[in-house]
A and B are shown apart, each in its own frame.
Chain A
């Protein structure tokens, strides 16, 4: 009888616990548990990492050039008929095309067709149509949000913005308007998002959220079994003056410390910039550092002002580095080049396994980060076939084994001009 008396209470408690459990799951969706990943072991040792997100500081956000909330598509150098053809090719319906070709929604000039689609039309595009059209728009630099869209490398918008303070309405809009290229999730409709924010606080939260960049906290695992000589050799990048052996031994001998943040293993300049957004001071030379500046200065204590379109950069690469084949080593420069015309689009620095140190665009809103190589490539592939070429500092002791190697084509074939001008 006693059992029967307590049964209802037990059921109630069970249901209540089940409810709490569900609630807990929901809360966790807002604050995802950090997942620690293991890299492939190699001469770099055993690395582990977890993802984290960076946001630009207040003073950088205040410098953002915020567009109008009216979406605008630009079609440079084509006729209205060609424009309509692009719409059809992307899969827009005739009604949608008619609305877009309405003179009330466009300003045409001989060199540029400007179209102002309505919010209703934006939301009515199917994912396939949006992806096809935005991919086409992204081939013109004039469409800044399509040319350089937000890239959700891990493909989960809600996880991306967890803890960002972003309103649910905005998250829904992100999901509704996201598009794909090479199976990578992208977003371009920033003006539409601006139309959804009402308060200045929401406005700031949105802008800050737009600067969100995923990176990884990378740690070297050490134990008494670690071969510190091999590790030391790898992480010095082949530079004779560096010796990390004592530091590694220090970690191994310190009870309670089993991991060393890889930031400690970076040279001073990348260590300074890692996880940081550029400041206005970084642009005093007239350009902000990008991938080329970041790569050629990796081992420099004092950076050389070498940006994308300078003959000096080309000269520096040829004089201070030699082309190398995989496997790459710590500190090697990787140039990302287009297959079609072999034009170099980006450069980053190999760290270990499939991890690179990179700055993915030469502006204030792109931080210096550690990134998986595949993720880096999604930023620069843009639907094109690409390939990597490695270059190693002549200061490295590991140059002899590769001195006779000539990369695909010739050195000058890799370091040539592209449509944007001379790059290294």
Chain B
């Protein structure tokens, strides 16, 4: 099993915006499905990507563009935490109907509270780690990306550190600031999967694909320009990793905190189930039932169906199991950390249906045991509560886990960081955060319960 400190769940987050249509956000399923427009635009690159990942279990395909809202720049409320101001108008969207019924949703943006901005995030020291390379190879890499020699020659010898599995380099701010977007795009992605350098090296994706949309009027123009200066494209995803460099340009401590919080914003989905006089309530109640449920969804659905105008809704929060209901849209409480180990995607997925959470799910040594004991492998996700594991084919390292909700909506916590809340989000958005050149595959696990066994019999 992998070392927790290197958990890929700390990978950068991602989402992208069409260059030709700045009003809408175009989201592409990053592993298999792509938008039609995007396929045309990036045909060569995408084809390679698809070839590499040909063994991946196919989730419901996305045949057409998935336009996620004209940006909802609003924020869900987080208990004990703050959220951020909404910036643009949002739009209510309809999910594809299915056994889950007709879901409608809109987006909100969450922002971690100041209490979650821990000291290492304020580091102004950039650290690059070149895994499985020596100094000569690093220099060759610099040459390959056409980094001018005068730039890397100014790096003092004391900034180079040889490690057992690579080279650690602490580049001067002048070098970091001088990189072109293309050079960042070439140098940074391999480093973003390694969480052993600076806390921010995992970086983040600019959700919505526009720095200005993300921060709105909350930051000075000068700061926005500097962020744009060091942002780069990772495939279709606008990314940013040079927080230490950025902080070094900001003298005001309060503004530094504000910058970190704003750059840590996360987009989440708020959804509700539409119930009409024609809805099959028994079927809906069956779909939205989970093991050990503490109430039956049927009476809630019945009440919604009696809406005099014929379009009653049930907020999805009432259909989630109690633990998911408690944690969704919240950030990790630092007090819940166990010896520095914090709830991550696996903790969130394993505890989804539990009435009381178990921190045993923090121990990566027992995860396979949980899967063998409490779940059965199934071919494809089709039920509320199905647990999906994303793993690397090469060494079967578990990269990520999440829970299927309905359609392309998932419940996830994307990493153990205090900056990553439990959220509902679109599957393709979540997977974009785990985009990698390595071959990966998904496994679908269904909770084993007496009820479901009886039902299937």
A: which residues have CB within 8 A of B?
31-36, 50-59, 163, 212, 217, 241-251, 253-257, 261, 263-265, 267-269, 271-279, 281-282, 301-302, 367
Contact = CB atoms under 8 A, between A and B. Distances in A.
A59 B79 contact: no
Nearest to B293: A57
Closest 8 CB pairs of A and B: A250-B74, A246-B75, A272-B326, A256-B92, A52-B303, A276-B294, A34-B306, A247-B77
A247 B295 contact: no
A417 to B, nearest CB: 31
Contacts of A253: 72-74, 86, 88-90
A324 B300 CA distance: 35
Given A247-B76, A263-B318, A264-B76, A254 B303 contact: no
B371 interface: no
Contacts of A250: 72, 74-76, 86, 90, 106, 108-109
Interface in B88-106: 88-92, 104, 106
Given A251-B74, A257-B92, 4 more contacts: A52-B300, A52-B303, A261-B317, A279-B292
B77 A241 contact: no
Given A246-B83, A247-B83, A301-B333, A55 B75 contact: no
28 contacts: A34-B307, A51-B303, A52-B302, A53-B299, A241-B81, A242-B81, A242-B82, A245-B83, A246-B82, A246-B108, A247-B77, A249-B85, A250-B106, A250-B109, A254-B89, A255-B92, A256-B106, A261-B315, A263-B318, A263-B325, A267-B79, A268-B330, A269-B326, A276-B294, A276-B322, A277-B295, A282-B355, A367-B294
A255 B307 CA distance: 20
Contact of A254 (B80, B90, B326): B90
B329 interface: yes
Given A55-B295, A55-B299, A255-B92, A243 B83 contact: yes
Interface of B: 72-77, 79-86, 88-92, 104, 106, 108-109, 111, 113, 115, 270, 272, 292-296, 298-300, 302-304, 306-308, 312, 315, 317-318, 322-323, 325-327, 329-330, 333, 335, 355-356, 451
Nearest to B300: A52
Given A269-B326, A271-B325, A273-B322, A254 B298 contact: no
Given A54-B295, A253-B88, A241 B115 contact: yes
B74 A247 contact: yes
A247 B85 CA distance: 8
B287 to A, nearest CB: 16
Contacts of A242: 77, 79-82
B91 A254 contact: yes
A198 to B, nearest CB: 24
Contacts of B330: 268
Nearest to B317: A263
A225 B449 CA distance: 49
A253 B90 CA distance: 6
A34 B308 contact: yes
B224 to A, nearest CB: 20
A58 B286 CA distance: 13
A247 B75 contact: yes
A212 B302 CA distance: 13
Given A33-B308, A247-B76, A279 B355 contact: yes
Given A55-B298, A249-B85, A263-B317, A271 B326 contact: yes
Given A257-B106, A271-B317, A276-B322, A249 B91 contact: no
Contacts of A267: 79
A245 B315 CA distance: 20
A59 B292 contact: yes
Contacts of B83: 243-247
A56 B330 CA distance: 28
Nearest to A60: B294
A52 B302 CA distance: 8
A154 to B, nearest CB: 14
A31 B306 contact: yes
Contacts of B355: 279, 281-282
A34 B310 CA distance: 10
A191 to B, nearest CB: 25
A52 B281 CA distance: 15
Nearest to A50: B303
Contact of A54 (B91, B109, B115, B299): B299
Contacts of B295: 54-57, 275-277, 367
A244 B299 contact: no
B299 A246 contact: no
B303 A217 contact: yes
A254 B77 contact: no
A163 B304 CA distance: 13
Contacts of A51: 303
A246 B307 contact: no
B77 A264 contact: yes
Given A57-B293, A241-B82, A253-B89, A275 B74 contact: no
Contacts of B80: 241-242, 301
A55 to B, nearest CB: 5
A31 B277 CA distance: 11
A231 to B, nearest CB: 11
B294 A263 contact: no
Given A254-B91, A263-B318, A268-B327, A57 B76 contact: no
Nearest to A216: B303
Contacts of B270: 264
A270 B356 CA distance: 14
A242 B78 CA distance: 7
Contacts of A34: 303-304, 306-308, 312
Contacts of A249: 74-75, 85-86
Contacts of A59: 292
B306 A32 contact: yes
A50 B300 CA distance: 11
Contact of A272 (B86, B322, B451): B322
A294 to B, nearest CB: 14
Nearest to A251: B74
Contacts of A282: 355
Contacts of B75: 246-247, 249-250
A282 B292 CA distance: 12
Nearest to B70: A255
Given A246-B85, A276-B295, A268 B91 contact: no
B259 to A, nearest CB: 18
Nearest to B294: A276
A278 B86 contact: no
A367 B329 CA distance: 23
Contacts of B299: 52-55, 163, 212
Contacts of A272: 322-323, 325-326
Given A34-B306, A246-B84, A277-B295, A254 B72 contact: yes
Nearest to A266: B79
A378 to B, nearest CB: 21
Contacts of B296: 54-58
Contacts of B327: 268
A282 B322 CA distance: 12
A217 B73 CA distance: 27
A57 B296 CA distance: 5
B84 to A, nearest CB: 5
A283 B204 CA distance: 43
A15 to B, nearest CB: 26
A243 to B, nearest CB: 4
A302 B83 CA distance: 22
A67 B93 CA distance: 51
Contacts of A32: 306
A308 to B, nearest CB: 21
